[in-house]
Structure 1
């Protein structure tokens, strides 16, 4: 069996040595990289060839890649690298990796064209100075072939191990039994839909109610389909840590596949949660786990793949046994794992690791998106960025002298962006060109400074650098999918205290996410609340042929009594009149059936108003409330109040920590009151979103896409906390006259039997 490997992957495996060193970062933006390559090619002759697809063979090893360029007049193969900063500061092992790639490409080209010799050039292009530096070696074809074979020999044993692993994995997955005695109601059609989507090479959206076992009901069929459709990897993506654990538990139930190492499972965790030396820079002079990292990586990698399942703690144990960084070991293992469990951002973010690896290595992947109703807001945040002028003012007071002039220039340009603005908030059609230029110059200056002064650990400076580079990347692709707005702070614009917040605010992530869906053979998005599905398909950028399945609920309508209270309005202007009626309603229900209840409100302010009224009128009924910015300990204490045998009403905010993702089965929660329609506040920002939605999808959809659909989704999620199993019984009160409207009722789950009070 032939094993195919990309040139870059081969070289990273065989040619990386020495320390892990991130000082020569961040790299240029994607757009700067494209423009840098184009600038180099523009200076070449008319016969210059670029983006040359090449392949080669060594025993059962197939190597493929795409060379940047070849100048036939000079007989010169060129590997082009864009950079920013001081080229002399580039670590030696980075340069060695670049030479390895260039020589492999040169060998493949000599083989392709029948050349006896060739010039091999590393061309470094400075994206700020717009200047290129070339380093050239003259190589014979025989020397390059010898180099190529030596690199392949270093990799061939690993490749043979990977071929054997893949064969064993696929054989066991084909025979994989369902991990439970039987499917739950609704679980079989869910699994069949996921399996068919993988076979048909299409995306799938599934609305499946809580309680049917969505995690195992999606993982099992996709893994079962993997051998037949040639899946290299399965990515299980979640919005929350709790979702990752559910996935790991479901995978552990596929005994004995994970336990015998036939299925390699990797949990990816954020860098800040895995760093063993917080505050230390990622290079050998500062961190002992970065020193000699690539020298110790092979042994750590081998131990890790032998372990099979690598959740966070196990990955850490192996990393520390071999004295390598746990985070960067995990990053390396993404290439050698079968199932990867991690956050949405690993595939959908602008610099997503898994997406980049999948496209560069031409992997065939299947993607599962858990609690997919969260993806819209999460993706908006991924492709949004704000900069606070106050941060710049603070930084100017502490910045090193070498950066004072650049930061002062940025400050002047920044103030010019809002000098003529009269309103406290205003959206604009474009990002000022001068402001973009000032940000790029500042980012470059900070990069050069940090490269020259690696001992400087000014976290504020590093954070500001990251923010302005992220802003610059988004500014390059600004369009109708986003808003550029400025919010003024301070009443007196002429005072030194006045400042602004500039924001690139994504509204429709579809243009960014569409390539992600295209990179997957089959993406399944599943949630208990994906209604209406066209709203999510359009805003997320799913293909037109995306399949839709609404799985029948396993629960009976008799289990949940849903009551609309149309005589109470929770609109802002009516809230004062709503306080007493809501308090009376909750007290009456509690007296009729004492137990644990959750009461949801649109804001902390409204929550407190009703709570004050309730406590005054019914002091004998126990209550507890969600507070702003609760610690994890406080959140646990809030949930502890719902223990069996307890009784009372917890007050919470709709869309917050206690409105989804919590499990309170049986008598732990017997009812919920939802005193809101969940609509976002009407303000200039949301009205700007509404305008963008209307322009993108039609005038009649602007309001629904901005306010109604996201609001009702939060309501249904909150109500879903009540019925968690087949034996649960409960009640949900939907308090607002608008719940009686037909257009709202259509958005509620079909299995609910809704009555009016």
Structure 2
């Protein structure tokens, strides 16, 4: 349900609408915040539990009864789990694991508040003088019901309902007024610059049209045109027209969030009522790391709900709720910053967050969108990163060493079920002929032992106090995730067994194609815009990400000119693994020759750290007077910053880096901070057993295994690295593609269409050749 529903513009005339769930969560919660882990049923188990209870009732039992009631200008909507008219009895069904006595009192109070709301709504609808209100708790493992019930009069229920509404109404009216003002402001929102940059208007129009048509959009737009403003502005300007409730701006990395917040500050100068929220990972927002989230151990959790209203009121006065501002407000009111941010999701207009908040299997933003029936527009920045991130979200791994450690720490009954898992694990790997093996199915005996262990550990954990961290809890989380991913195992994933040096290994469910999981996320928005400077070919990303049929596509023409960037293919060089030692001297000589001819700052990219180190060593031997600096494996953030800081205006030197690493994208070095790049690789992933499994699966699913596994991901990294050179329409530079394969027509077709590719020999400076024919262009 919409948390607060308002007209598109002008004074508020319609009733504000709120779900029973949101009303009670807002007005009935009190006491401590306590989110320590307690084994709970999955969403599927919860739904199955509801159906089980409903199926046990008599023929006159009504299930999922839709109800509405109005209090002043507030309309409350919800669905009662069950109602027996003959008995005059309404049921609120809750599923759980373990002992009911262990359920926290504030949770029980919230459940009663929801049940009593439905009791009042039924009394009002049926003119009932009284009704029996029942809480039905179903223990999911045993199927046993515990029923708590009370006979309530119509007037008592009405008084409770109106008290909840009264606590909510003041806030809701404030929010209703603010959103009406916001809609009016956004209806006349001006573009924040004097004019559009080249390509920026085209992108903005594409985003607006996609939202108007309620279609998804995949857009490639060059660096430097202002993509962040070009995607945010049309969605804000069309807020009323598209009937938008919220915009989610999602990024892969923290710097992307900072850029989005800056753009929103700029655009939002014309919309004072706009409220922007930044979501930060829990480990970064926590003030007491290592402590459980409960009133017993954390002072910011103790009495959290008693102080939340005041903190929420203060937060509502801030236009930009970034990490620093949220922390300041939270600490002033002695509440947890992380959970204050989660509360403010409901009351913010634009949420800036990491991908996982919407696309993960347990994503907060997606769950709230579904629960509250929000109309959301989703912007996915640098969307080429979503593929690998989503693969990680929907993969699961078990480590045999952690399993052994958990066994040692576990009590006797749990040790036995873990030992059974280990026996079946060894049975899987004993028959293994090599260190890596992939299967199209999960071994049935191992799967059954895993499910049994998950169930036993869940019951064990539910029977006692919420546990602290430890190996048993760690392996339980890993096994639980593995078991849940196993429920949806299919062609999109593969079961993998890997052996370590001492025959200890891992078992994994590796997701290869996340589209089956992401399709629902795209369907849950009015539009999702996936945009990047390197997200081609569109068909590849549409297939693997699961974008809907009918999604719009836009390739924004580059504002850069061909004469800004000299792209040269070294025809007599090969960076194939077998040829590297032979070509290393010619390759480094070409780098040195270009530097002597035009001194300045350059980046040289290689396919691996080993290859980088070899090239760096040879180059320094022959060019000891040229300043160089090199990326290292596992480079700490401070060292990465030092590496980037070496590229100063007017500087001279060469940075050696790994293609696809930290410096292959996101490094912004305009002007003469960087005048050239050498790319000694096609960026192709290693031809190992794991990638060959992916290639075979891509061939089965899409009929193009090699391109989807190797070629397209590799050349994306090449284009990204080359994109470090030209950042503005005033920049100029050179890019050397140091491998003869770059001259092949099938490769040339995948390079940016605005590039004028020349050919050269590593020992010569050949004049430019004519531009490639249209058949070699994108």
Q: So what's the TM-score if we normalise by structure 1?
A: 0.95
Give yes or no for the alignment of 1:712 onto 2:715: yes
Does the alignment pair 1:68 with 2:81?
A: yes
Instruction: Indicate the SS of the match to 2:208.
Output: helix
Aligned positions of 1:137-156 closer than 5 A:
137-156=150-169
**Distance between the aligned counterparts of 2:186 and 2:422, measured in 1?**
59
Question: How far did residue 376 of structure 1 move?
Answer: 0.9
Out of 608, 622, 630, the residue aligned to residue 625 of structure 1 is: 630
1:3 aligns with 2:6: no
2:291 pairs with 1:280: yes
Name the CA distance, whole Å, in 2 between partners of 1:280 and 1:449: 22
Structure 2 unaligned segments of length 5 or more: list them.
1-13, 761-778
Where 2:579 maps in the other structure, the secondary structure is: helix
Residue aligning to 2:519: 514
Question: Which whole-Å CA distance do the structure 2 matches of 1:193 and 1:327 have between them?
Answer: 35
* 8 Å contact from structure 1 (residues 24, 89) kept in 2: no
CA distance in 2, matches of 1:360, 1:336: 15
SS in 2 for 1:36: helix
SS at match of 2:334: coil
Asked if 2 retains the 8 angstrom alpha-carbon contact of 1:671 and 1:722, the reply is yes
After the TM superposition, which residues 584-623 of structure 1 pair with which residues of structure 2 at under 5 Å, given as runs?
584-623=589-628
Distance 1:53 1:740 in 2: 65
**Structure 1 residues 108 and 607, CA gap change in structure 2 (3 angstroms):** same
State the partner residue of 1:420.
431
Q: CA deviation at 1:39?
A: 2.6
Q: Contact (CA 8 Å) 1:599, 1:651: kept in 2 or not?
A: yes
Quote how far apart the aligned CAs of 1:16 are.
0.6
Q: Deviations over 1:293-316 (max 9, x none)?
A: 000000000100111211100000
Paired position in structure 2 for 1:493: none
Distance 2:636 2:180 in 1: 47
CA apart distance, 1:555: 1.1
Structure 1 distance, partners of 2:39, 2:450, is 15
Q: Structure 2: how far apart are the matches of 1:520 and 1:588?
A: 53
Partner of residue 265 from structure 1, selected from 250, 267, 276: 276
Map of 1:128 onto structure 2: 141
CA distance in 1, matches of 2:357, 2:19: 21
Matches within 5 A, 1:481-496: 481-490=492-501
Partner Cα distance (1:682, 1:46) in 2: 62
Distance 1:39 1:409 in 2: 31
Aligned-partner SS, 1:253: helix
Secondary structure, in 3 states, of the residue corresponding to 2:196?
Answer: coil
1:407 aligns with 2:407: no
Deviation at 1:6, TM superposition (A): 1.3
Moved more, 382-391 or 450-459: 450-459
SS in 1 for 2:468: coil
1:312 aligns with 2:308: no
Matches within 5 A, 1:211-290: 211-257=224-270, 260=272, 262-290=273-301
Question: Once the two structures are superposed, what CA deviation does each residue of 1:108-167 show, in whole Å capped at 9, x if it has no partner?
Answer: 334344544333222222233333322222333333233222211111111111110110
Could you tell me how far apart the structure 1 residues matched to 2:638 and 2:462 are? 40
Pair 45,744 (structure 1): closer, same or farther in 2 beyond 3 Å:
farther
Corresponding residue for residue 673 of structure 2: 668
Q: Partner residue of 2:741?
A: 738
Aligned to 1:494: none
In the other structure, the counterpart of 1:95 is 108
What CA deviation, in whole Å up to 9, does each residue of 1:563-612 have, x standing for no partner?
11232221222222221121111111111111111111111111112222
**Quick one: distance in 1 between partners of 2:364 and 2:435?**
38
Mean CA deviation greater in 340-349 or 465-474:
465-474
* Offset at residue 453 of structure 1 (A): 5.4
Q: What's the secondary structure of 2:353's corresponding residue? A: strand
Kindly indicate whether the alpha-carbon contact (under 8 Å) linking 2:97 and 2:462 is maintained by their aligned counterparts in 1. Answer: no
> Which residue number in structure 2 is paired with residue 753 of structure 1?
756
Task: Select the residue among 503, 506, 515 that pairs with 1:501.
Answer: 506
* Alpha carbons of structure 1 residues 417 and 614: separation in structure 2 relative to 1, 3 Å: same
CA contact (8 A) 1:659 1:718 kept: yes
User: 1:323-472 residue pairs with structure 2 within 5 A?
Assistant: 323-399=334-410, 403-450=414-461, 454=465, 457-472=468-483
Deviations 1:31-74 (A, max 9, x none): 22233223323333344433333222222111122232334554
Q: 2:62 aligns with which of 49, 64, 69?
A: 49
Contact 2:268 2:274 survives alignment (8 Å): no
Q: Do the aligned partners of residues 25 and 566 (structure 1) sit closer, same or farther apart at CA in structure 2, a change above 3 Å counting?
A: farther
Pairing partner for 2:729 from 722, 726, 730? 726
Change (3 A) 1:672 1:171: same
Partner Cα separation in structure 2 for residue 586 and residue 390 of structure 1: 46
435-444 vs 656-665, which deviates more?
435-444
Out of 685-694 and 154-163, give the one that drifted further. Answer: 685-694
Structure 2 residue corresponding to 1:59, chosen from 65, 72, 77: 72
1:160 aligns with 2:187: no
In structure 2, the partner of 1:687 is 692
8 Å Cα contact 1:24-1:91 kept in structure 2: no
Counterpart Cα distance in 1 of 2:47 and 2:595: 64
| Residue pairs, 1:24-35, within 5 angstroms | 25-35=38-48
Deviation at 1:527, TM superposition (A): 0.5
Larger mean CA deviation between 19-28 and 725-734 belongs to: 19-28
CA distance in 2 between counterparts of 1:454 and 1:640 reads 51
Tell me the equivalent position of 2:206.
Answer: 193
Matching residue of 1:677: 682
> Contact 2:246 / 2:374 at 8 angstroms: preserved in 1?
yes
Which whole-Å deviations, capped at 9, do the CAs of 1:71-120 have from their partners, x for residues lacking one?
45544322222222332211100111111112222333343445443332
Q: Does the CA contact (< 8 Å) of 2:97 and 2:458 recur in 1?
A: yes
Tell me the distance in 1 between the aligned counterparts of 2:77 and 2:583. 68
d(CA) in 2 for partners of 1:126 and 1:431?
Answer: 29
* Distance in structure 1 (CA, Å) of the matches to 2:293 and 2:191: 44
Question: Residue 543 of structure 1 corresponds to which residue in structure 2?
Answer: 548
CA distance 1:177–1:200, change in 2 (3 Å): same
Aligned residues: 747
In the alignment, the residues of structure 2 paired with residue 52 and residue 566 of structure 1 have an alpha-carbon distance, to the nearest angstrom, of 72
Q: Is the 8 A contact 1:85 1:444 kept in 2?
A: no
1:14 counterpart = 2:27? yes
| TM-score normalised by length of structure 2 | 0.93
Whole-angstrom CA distance in 1 between matches of 2:637 and 2:620: 26
Structure 2 contact 565–735 (Cα < 8 Å) conserved: yes
Q: 1:71 to 1:415 in 2, by over 3 A?
A: farther
Shift of 1:616: 2.1
Residue 646 of structure 1 is matched in structure 2 by 651
Deviation at 1:341, TM superposition (A): 0.2
**CA 1:555–1:628 in 2, change beyond 3 Å: closer, same or farther?**
same
User: CA RMSD, aligned part only?
Assistant: 1.9
Answer yes or no: is the 8 Å Cα contact 1:194–1:222 preserved in 2.
Answer: yes
